[in-house]
Amino acid sequence: MPHDHHDHDLSFDGVSPAYRRALWAVIVLNGGMFLVEMTAGALAGSRALQADALDFGADAATYALSLAVIGQALATRATVALLKGLSLAAMGLWVLGATAWGVLVQGVPDAPVMGVIGLLALTANVASVLLLMRWRDGDANVRSVWLCSRNDAIGNVAVMLAAVGVWGSGTGWPDLIVAALMAGLFLSSSTQIIRRALAERREARTA
C-alpha cells in the first residue's frame, strides 16, 4: 500500500485503507465526546467545557466530510478544506462571544466536573492524535484533520488547568480566560487551513 507511507508528502490525499480506518475511529471518538462534554459543560456551567464540546462536534462533522471527499479532484478537496477553515473561524468567533457574555453574567463553574471531563476528553484526543500522526503533513483536507485533533488535545489540557484555577481562586475567571485562548487557537488554525486550501484551489485551476 504505497499511500500509507507519506509522512512528509504534502500531496497525500487520504487515499489509503489505513487512513480511512483511522479517520472512522476518530469520527466515533469525537461524536461520543461531543455528547459527553456538551452535557457536562451545561451541568457544570463551564464555558471552556462547552467550547471544547463544540470543537468535538464540529470535528466529527468535518472529519466525515474529509472522508467523503477522499479520492476526489484536488479542487473539490480544497473547497471542502476551505469550508472547514471558515467554520473553524466561525467557531472561534462564537467562543469569543460566549466568553464575553460569560464575563458579564459570570457564575463559578464546577471545578471537579471540569477536571474529570477534561481528563476523559484528553484521553480521547491523544488517541486521535496518535491514530492520525503519520498523515499530519498531507494536503489541506488531510492537514485540517490533524490540526483539529491537535487543537482538541491542547484544549483539553487547558480545560484541566482552568479547573485547577477555578478551584484555587473560587472564581470563574480561569474558565473564561481558557475559553478565550481556545478561541484564539481556533482562529489561528483556521488561517492555516484557509491559506493552504486557497493555494490548492489556485493549483487546481492552473493544472
Reported as a single tens digit per residue, the pLDDT across 15-65 is 788 888 988 999 999 999 999 988 988 888 887 788 788 878 888 888 888
Q: Could you tell me how far CA 146 lies from the centroid of its own chain?
A: 9
DSSP code at position 134: G
Structure-block grid coordinates of residue 110: 464546577
Query: What's the grid cell of residue 92?
Result: 472561534
Assigned domain for 170 exists: yes
Domain assignment of residue 43, yes or no: yes
Query: Is 2 part of any domain?
Result: no
**Can you give the residue range of the structural domain that contains 75?**
13-206
Using alpha carbons only, how large is the chain's radius of gyration in Å? 17
Among 80, 46, 5, CA closest to 173: 46
**Grid cell in block for residue 167:** 478551584
**CA separation for the pair 9, 84 (Å, rounded):** 21
* 8, part of any domain: no
Q: How many domains are contained in the chain? A: 1
Locate 201 and state its grid cell: 484551489
> Can you tell me the distance from the alpha carbon of 56 to that of 130, in angstroms, rounded to the nearest whole number?
17
In a domain, 6, yes or no: no
pLDDT tens digits in sequence order for the chain, 207 residues long? 444 444 444 567 677 888 889 889 999 999 999 999 889 888 888 877 887 888 788 888 888 888 888 888 888 888 888 988 898 888 888 887 877 776 666 667 888 888 888 889 889 988 988 888 888 777 777 877 887 888 778 878 888 888 888 888 888 888 888 888 888 888 888 898 899 889 988 988 887
The residue written with cell numbers 466525515 in the block is: 64
- What pLDDT score does 177 carry? 86
Owner of C-alpha cell 485503507: 17
Please tell me the predicted confidence (pLDDT) of residue 198.
92
Q: What's the CATH code of the domain at 126?
A: 1.20.1510
| pLDDT of amino acid 1 | 42
In degrees and rounded to multiples of 5, residue 172 shows phi and psi of -90, 0
The reply to whether 1 falls in a domain is no
Residue 138 placed within a domain: yes
Domain assignment present for 52: yes
Whole-angstrom distance, CA of residue 24 vs CA of residue 136: 16
